[in-house]
Chain A
Amino acid sequence: MQYLLLIYTDEKLWDPATGTAPAVLQEITAAHMRLGAELQEAGAMVGGNRLQPTATATTVRTVAGSQSLHDGPYAETREQLAGYYLVEAPDLDAAIAWGKKIPGGPNYAVEVRPVHVM
């Protein structure tokens, strides 16, 4: 079964101008690389990406059949979707175990969502 692990962080902390020391960001990036390798080795890696900040997002909204574009993410939240992993796991516990391994500094959240089986 596949699970999407959605990573939510305060993206301001990732902006070099306002946030965290570059060395810390480098360490987190390196930890992501290590996790990616571990997922590959376990045969659990389906995919994953880091996303550009929400300032680059465009939302296409359809209301009553007519579509319009909006500058920005779907929802304005304190923490933003920053990246994801798509993993193969036998059950929720195994997916949560991968979710717990995702690095990201002192404060962040990982949502574990099963992929709908067709």
Chain B
Amino acid sequence: MARDAAQILAEAVREAGDRIRAALAIRFRDLDMAEEAFAFASLRAVETWPRDGVPRDPAAWLYAVGRRRAFDIGRRTKVRETAVHDAPEPAPNPETILMAAFEPIPDERLRLIFVCCHPALAPEARIALTLRTLCGLSVERIARAWLTTEVAMLQRLTRAKRKIRDARIGFEIPEPDAWGERLDAVLATLEIAYAQAYEDAALASDAADLAAETLRLSGLLAELLPEEPEVLGLAALVRLTESRRPARLDAAGAMIPLSEQDVRLWDGRLIAEAVALMRRAAELGRSGPYQLMAAIHAAHASRLEIGTTPWSDVVTLYDILMAVRPSAVTAVNRAVAVAEAQSAEAGLAALATVEGPERLAAWLPYQAARAGLYAKAGRDAEAAEALKAALALHPAPAERLFLERRLAALGA
């Protein structure tokens, strides 16, 4: 019985936790209070469910108890009267009364995403706040993903929450004239999470949770904003890169480059989801960088179906992406695609035009690409030199293994 209660609680938290936290945060216009109230409700469930039985609607119970708690905190601190004035006086003993109650929890997740990703907050604070508030990821876990200490991350979160409260960042869905800027900030925030989750694959064995949350968040956003093609594009992009996770490392833990991955290990379900999202985005008829990046990854994914990578399509897509949103990363990736579509020398020529980080030579993706292109051109000495330069730039373990192997293969 007790085990059942614990299981049901875990399930309710997993399935409705984000919705409950969001509803509490929006209702009381205070992220800290929502967090505390939700933690309180979960704790009460642990204490009372095994004894009194599991409520008919566990999520509604958690929300009601959390709301009651937030109301009490608000009344005690008195400073938030204006925020709670419309909250009705809760029943005196909600936990027993609620046993049979059913009440839909309002879906405030979109409003909360817009609060957490407000452009007035620092980008790194936005993503931490989103993962903490919407996904319930622990501060310790978020700190680990961004290679900082738990204390530093907690400070960053506290500062952001204080700014939301004291500068009065609005809890409303943005007005039409601010919509573009606010949505861009949300997309950029999810992109940071996605990049980190992707990077993590080569670093940590427990990266799956961050990747899973990024998948879920991007999917949720696509569900909440089905008319925004770039939102659909980002959701597709995240699915396409995630589909390759099982194929990205070999048995020894070395990175396997995309073009050498075993396509049978790719997750066909995620690829199909991505393709469906991209189709819907295309029907809306407004292209953008996330849809373009998704299209590039979809072109790579098509190797699963057609057996080869359509490299000239990839180059064309990179050309468009460079025109829409130029970046050094895109330019380097484009050069690699040019090498595949045309020749290694053409790729090297494209790489030579890359303008980017001031000290290009000290930038790992550049050196790694350079090494690959020189090796492809049969210029072994230059390839070895670039590999050594790349290895000196502290690559993650999986990439280090890969680069070392390439160096050994050159006999250098």
- Report which A residues bind B (CB closer than 8 A): 1, 90-94, 96-97, 112, 114
Q: How far is A91 from B172 in the complex, measured between Cα atoms in Å?
A: 10
Residue positions of B touching A, CB distance < 8 A: 118, 120, 166-170, 172, 174-175, 177-178
Partner among A97, A112, A114 whose Cβ is within 8 Å of the Cβ of B178: A97
Q: Is the CB of B174 within 8 A of A93?
A: yes
Q: Could you list 26 A-B pairs, sorted by A, with CB under 8 Å?
A: A1-B168, A90-B168, A90-B170, A91-B168, A91-B169, A91-B170, A91-B172, A92-B118, A92-B120, A92-B167, A92-B168, A92-B169, A92-B170, A93-B169, A93-B170, A93-B174, A93-B175, A93-B178, A94-B170, A96-B120, A97-B177, A97-B178, A112-B167, A114-B166, A114-B167, A114-B168
A114 to B169 CA separation, bound complex (whole angstroms): 10
Complex Cα distance A30/B175, Å?
Answer: 28
Residue with the highest number of chain A CB atoms closer than 10 Å, among B167, B169, B177: B167
Across chains A and B, which 9 residue pairs bring their CB atoms closest together, nearest first?
A91-B170, A114-B167, A92-B169, A91-B168, A92-B167, A93-B170, A1-B168, A92-B168, A93-B178
For residue A71, give the distance in angstroms from its CB to the closest CB of chain B.
Answer: 34
Q: Give the number of residue pairs across the A-B interface with Cβ within 8 Å.
A: 26
Point out the residues of chain A lying under 8 angstroms from B178, CB to CB.
93, 97
Q: Which single residue of chain A is at the shortest CB-CB distance from B177?
A: A97
Least distance between B30 CB and chain A CB atoms (Å): 14
Q: Which residues on B sit within 8 Å (CB–CB) of A91?
A: 168-170, 172
* CB-defined contacts of A112 to chain B, threshold 8 Å: 167
Closest to B168 in A: A91
* CB neighbours of A93 from chain B (8 A): 169-170, 174-175, 178
Min Cβ gap B322→A in Å is: 27
Please, how many angstroms separate the alpha-carbon atoms of A97 and B175 in the complex?
11
With CB as the reference atom, state the residue of chain B lying closest to A94. Answer: B170
Residue among B170, B174, B175 with max Cβ neighbours from chain A (10 Å): B170
Residues of B within 8 A of A96 (CB): 120
> Which B residues lie within 8 Å of A97 (CB)?
177-178
Nearest-CB residue, chain A, relative to B170: A91
In the complex the two chains form, what is the Cα distance from A86 to B21 in whole Å? 35
| Complex: A90 Cα to B175 Cα, angstroms | 13
Q: A92-B118, A97-B177 are in contact. List 10 more A-B contacts (CB 8 A).
A: A1-B168, A90-B170, A91-B168, A91-B169, A91-B172, A92-B168, A94-B170, A97-B178, A112-B167, A114-B168
Chain B nearest CB: distance from A5 CB in Å? 13
Bound-state Cα–Cα, A114 to B170, Å? 13
A112 to B166, CA, bound (A): 12
Which residues of the partner chain B approach A92 to less than 8 Å between Cβ atoms? 118, 120, 167-170
Give complex CA distance A94, B169 in Å.
Answer: 9
Contacts of B118 in A (CB 8 A): 92
In chain B, what residue has the closest Cβ to A117?
Answer: B166
With the chains together, A114 CA to B164 CA distance in Å? 11
Once bound together, how far apart are the Cα atoms of A97 and B179, in whole Å? 12
In the bound complex, CA of A96 to CA of B168 (Å): 11
A110 to chain B, nearest CB (A): 13
B82 to chain A, nearest CB (A): 11
